């Protein structure tokens, strides 16, 4: 079997998928007004871990703590050496894509929560989601093209 090496477009090593994990921090209540302070440990609920995605595409976290979508990753050579990092302009395009993607995912959650409350149709949320999806697809195409251009240079 051949191993493949993938890196962030900055050249940083990928550490794993970006996960959302619930936790409960120990605390102490200190008064009748229910004031509290954290008391040290946090219990993590690992069974509920969820890989973060944008439009179903997983996010990966690199050494520097930045998140990247699967289509942002660049392949290293057969020895695991990353290619040269992409340009700052390409990173800016990727950042714009990630921000639009995060807004799109938030809009989806808003629409879903509103529907679950059975408050009727929230047309504005659906319209926002459609607009964000269109903008996201444009940003994604621009980022992918910029990465390809930088890697070809």
Domain ranges in the chain are 1-83, 86-153
Q: Output the pLDDT for position 114.
A: 79
Q: Output the pLDDT for position 123.
A: 74
Structure tokens at 112: 């879903």
- pLDDT tens over the chain, length 153 residues: 557 899 999 999 999 999 999 999 999 988 888 889 988 899 999 999 999 999 999 999 999 999 999 999 999 988 889 999 999 999 999 999 999 999 999 999 988 887 788 776 667 778 889 999 999 999 999 999 999 999 998
Give the whole-angstrom CA distance, residue 67 versus residue 8: 8
Three-state DSSP state, 12: coil
Please give the model's pTM, rounded to 2 decimal places: 0.84
* Sign of the four-CA dihedral 65, 66, 67, 73: negative
């Amino acid at each position: 079997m051949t191993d493949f090496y993938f890196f962030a477009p900055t050249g940083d090593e990928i550490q794993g998928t970006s996960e959302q994990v619930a936790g409960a921090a120990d605390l102490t209540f200190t008064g009748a007004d229910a004031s509290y302070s954290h008391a040290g440990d946090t219990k993590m609920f690992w069974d509920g871990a969820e890989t973060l995605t944008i439009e179903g595409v997983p996010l990966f976290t690199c050494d520097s703590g930045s998140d990247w979508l699967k289509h942002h990753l660049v392949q290293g050579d057969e020895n695991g050496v990353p290619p040269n990092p992409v340009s700052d302009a390409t990173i800016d395009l990727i950042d714009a894509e990630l921000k639009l993607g995060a807004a799109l995912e938030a809009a989806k959650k808003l629409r879903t929560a509103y529907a679950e409350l059975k408050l009727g149709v929230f047309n504005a949320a659906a319209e926002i989601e459609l607009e964000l999806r269109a903008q996201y697809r444009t940003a994604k195409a621009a980022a992918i093209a910029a990465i390809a251009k930088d890697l070809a240079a």
